[in-house]
Amino acid sequence: MEESRRFGRYRVTGTLGAGAMGEVFSAVDDVLGREVAVKTLKGHRNALAARMIDDRFRMEARAIAALAHPGVVQVFDIDLEADPPYLVMERVAGPSLKDKLERGPLSVHEVRVLGIQIARALAAAHERKIIHRDVKPANILAAGEGAWKLADFGVAHVPDSSLTMTGQFVGSPAYASPEALVRGQSDSEGDVYGLGATLYQAACGRWPRLDGAPSASLIPPVPPLATLAPSMPPEIAEVIDRAIALDPGARPSASELADALAGASSTQSGTRPAGPVARPVRWQPFAFGGGLVALTLILIFATRGGGAPATPAADPPPAGAPIPPPTSMSAKDTQKVLEKVEKGEYRDALEKIEEWEEDNGGPTPETQSLRQQIEALGDEPSRGRGRGKGKRKKGD
């Protein structure tokens, strides 16, 4: 019986959810008598994969603990030595914003309050150079009395960490910024985009990019919010539109977004205040691929000194414009590599990398680094295997 399970001093009272990486339970802390949420990890066959996932779990706990912000679900405890390892967090009553939006859009006042609270939570994270990277309605929880909390820092980038996520924990393409979707660029501007997309959906009941899967070669245009939510006050509609600007530098920071919403009226006023001056792209932690693999980051952060910023990328193309071939592996491709590594099939993992290179114009610094890391794991990979031999045919 589920209720008889325990994790140390935490007595399970029910199941909140389950996924490929583990489960989340409701529980009671028998010492303090409070309700908590216990997040567990499933076991893994391969020691390397298990270590990477444990490190990601520890990183998530540290990311949340470092914030200690009322707009972020808090972490209370962690035990990586338990079987299975578990993380104890604040129990938020819910529902998620995703569940709430299934019943229709929020009121103007609710959109404004939601935006202020989550933008301030993101601003606190960004001050510590923590990037959430998966801001979306499903990761925002109702905490009661009009309060909202940002949850699931499992894919976050944390400074001075050799690991940010595993192939299982990836961002959500429908809410990803164009630069994240196309180039795998992860930064604070991307978090603002995710929140802007969330507020857009909360205001009008739909997010246009949910109507079809995002394309790797085409960024679908998003109409101005006022066209879908004409009752939204102009100053609120415009700041949300700026948050989802294609150009990252044209978006407000999370702090600016919170301030703009706080200063806006919840009623139609007819005034249209000027927005903040477009900012250049700021600190950008190095990342690649929408599904950034932990194994890759272990090596890349080691060779780049961890916090070294990436060279700013070119501005995103206009909406609907063709996009050059990707220069970094997608979530799907990197997941395939990680699956092979977890099974100990290092040669097959290398072949997956070479297949991607053949389809995308040759090796990149990222794929070369990943190959070196896999080759260093054991004797199975062929270190001197000649490139170009035994090439697969297109369509294989």
Radius of gyration of the chain (CA): 22
Three-state DSSP string of 76-141: EEEECCCCCCEEEEECCCCCEHHHHHCCCCCCHHHHHHHHHHHHHHHHHHHHCCCECCCCCHHHEE
Q: List, for residues 162-214, the tens digit of each pLDDT value.
A: 444 433 334 678 888 888 877 777 789 999 999 999 999 999 998 877 765 45
Residue 10 has pLDDT above 60, yes or no: yes
Q: List, for residues 29-58, the tens digit of each pLDDT value.
A: 999 999 999 988 776 555 655 666 667 667
- Round to whole Å and give the CA distance between 158 and 294: 13
Q: List, for residues 203-212, the tens digit of each pLDDT value.
A: 999 887 776 5
- Round to whole Å and give the CA distance between 277 and 241: 14
Catalytic residues: 134
Q: List, for residues 328-339, the tens digit of each pLDDT value.
A: 566 567 767 777
Q: What is the mean pLDDT of the chain?
A: 73
How is residue 229 written in tokens? 């939510």
pLDDT reported for residue 3: 58
pLDDT reported for residue 169: 30
**Which class for 144: exposed (0-12), middle (13-18), buried (19 or more C-beta within 10 A)?**
exposed
Of 116-125, 245-254, 264-273, 325-334, the range with the lowest mean pLDDT is 264-273
pLDDT reported for residue 280: 37
CATH of region 2-90: 3.30.200.20
Whole-structure pTM value: 0.62
Token pair 């990398």 is at which residue?
Answer: 353
Question: What single DSSP character describes residue 4?
Answer: G
Strand pairing category for 10-18 and 35-40:
unpaired
Stretch 22-32: mean pLDDT, rounded? 91
Domain ranges across the chain: 2-90, 97-263, 294-375
Residue 310 has pLDDT above 70, yes or no: no
Q: Which residue has the higher pLDDT, 134 or 275?
A: 134
| DSSP-assigned beta bridge partners for residue 87 | 39, 78
Q: List, for residues 81-105, the tens digit of each pLDDT value.
A: 888 888 898 999 879 999 999 999 9
CATH 1.10.510.10 applies to domain 97-263: yes
| DSSP-assigned beta bridge partners for residue 15 | 25
- Find all residues with CB under 8 Å of 204, minimum gap 6, and list them: 105, 225, 228, 229, 232
Q: Which residue has the higher pLDDT, 134 or 333?
A: 134
Give the C-alpha distances (Å, rounded to integers) separating 370 from 179, 350, 353, 374. 22, 9, 8, 6
- Round to whole Å and give the CA distance between 370 and 147: 43
- Round to whole Å and give the CA distance between 293 and 301: 12
Stretch 354-377: mean pLDDT, rounded? 77
pLDDT reported for residue 83: 83
